[in-house]
Amino acid sequence: MKVSTLLRVTGALAVSALALAAAEPAAAQAKKIKIGFVTTLSGPNAAYGVDMRNSFELALEHLGRKMGGIPVEVIYEDDEQKPEVGKQKTDKLMQRDRVDIVAGYIWSNVLLASYKSVVDNNTFLISANAGPSQLAGEQCHKNFFAASWANEQNPMGVGHLLNQKNVQKLYIVAPNYAAGQDMANGVKATFKGQVVGQDMTRWPDQLDFSAEISKIRAAKPDAVYVFFPGRAGVQFLTQYTQANLKKEIPLYSVFTIDGVTLKLQKDQALDTFFGLFWAPDLPYAANTKFVTDYKKKHKDTPTFYGAQSYDVANLINSAVVATKGDLKNKDAFRAALEAAKFESVRGPMKFNKNHFPIHAIYQQEVYKVSDSEYDIRTISKIIDNLEDPSAPKCKM
């Protein structure tokens, strides 16, 4: 072969190699991001799943329905508040839809039934609500993140509040499932007084709490602490008020009063005490935009379920932007999620080593906006930078 011909061939090969190298980042970038979102969209607690979906959709609208410039497709699935259905829907998302990321999950028992289908497939799962202690501790996984809280965190904040209020004797009531057990253990982790009684009720079908209220009356505690989400929270608060115990024995709670239940609880929710990581009035720019635009679009105030879902969308976006859409680089994407470089509606937060948030807990109360309208506002910060107690058990 002539030298001139050899140079031409060598040069052509070099140009081809350069073109291939230049094309590699573009090839690595996903053409579309598929997200599976599992929540409860039917049954008596469907309002929470709808709020989560509405909030996730609002975040996508704020992002132009793209993450890092890449179009986003979301597949919403209804778990019907049943662990077995949640797992079936999760398996569908993984096996048939082949989603890149799975998110959502209200109920701890549904999440616990479903999460291995995702993480064992080397796919990222981001909880928008449920935060069972098992996944915060010994069963933590590098591909699982909770963008909400660990189940014990908010109750731990209430435990600190009980100490600040000088409560000495406490009675605890919660439903007997994974989250209920964590919520009871959380308040006991920080409360310095004496627990004089504890009842773990049937879940989710028990709505008559007359026996538990009679036991509370007989025990004569300084305060009662309860965790009853959804319609159970409405029923407990109604029966507690009808028993005329609220003034006699102050009621403290987590996740029992929210924007959905408040429409039914109304005056019954007044003069109770509760703690949470988020409220509609927190003065952060991301929160103001979220709450304002949600109210404009849906003529309603979002719940914390929605706030968490809004955060999930922005957390995922931050990782897509940081990795330039290379979803196949799991290590880089995981590191970007861990960095949590997004503006959370709760204000400052960071992930602990177990991929659960470290953040503040606030005392909140219900107030009357008008004769027919009620809302929730922040009273004070109970504690800052609260870590969950299960983190040391995580060997990640």
> Is there a domain that residue 52 lies in?
yes
Q: What is the CATH number of the domain that holds 316?
A: 3.40.50.2300
Sequence-ordered strand ranges (E) for the chain: 33-39, 66-67, 70-78, 101-104, 124-127, 144-146, 169-175, 194-201, 223-226, 251-253, 273-276, 350-351, 357-368, 374-386
Residues 174 and 240 reside in one and the same domain? yes
Stated pTM of the model: 0.91
Residues 66 and 158 reside in one and the same domain? no
Q: Which domain holds residue 117?
A: 33-149+282-347
> Is there a domain that residue 12 lies in?
no
Q: What single letter denotes the amino acid at residue 319?
A: A
Residues 221 and 271 reside in one and the same domain? yes
For residue 236, report the phi and psi dihedrals to the nearest 5 degrees. Answer: -65, -45
Which pair of tokens denotes residue 85? 């259905």
Residues 70 and 112 reside in one and the same domain? yes
Instruction: Give the C-alpha separation, 280 to 196, whole Å.
Output: 34
> Is there a domain that residue 19 lies in?
no
The number of distinct structural domains making up the chain is 2
Residues 331 and 289 reside in one and the same domain? yes
Residues 388 and 299 reside in one and the same domain? no
Instruction: Give the C-alpha separation, 167 to 155, whole Å.
Output: 15
Q: Which residues face 357 on adjacent strands?
A: 351
> Is there a domain that residue 372 lies in?
yes
The pLDDT profile of the chain, 396 residues, written as one tens digit per residue, is 443 443 343 444 444 443 444 444 444 788 999 999 999 999 999 999 999 999 999 999 999 999 999 999 999 999 999 999 999 999 999 999 999 999 999 999 999 999 999 999 999 999 999 999 999 999 999 999 999 999 999 999 999 999 999 999 999 999 999 999 999 999 999 999 999 999 999 999 999 999 999 999 999 999 999 999 999 999 999 999 999 999 999 999 999 999 999 999 999 999 999 999 999 999 999 999 999 999 999 999 999 999 999 999 999 999 999 999 999 999 999 999 999 999 999 999 999 999 999 999 999 999 999 998 999 999 999 999 999 999 999 998
Answer left, alpha or beta for residue 259, where phi above 0 means left and psi between -120 and 50 means alpha: alpha
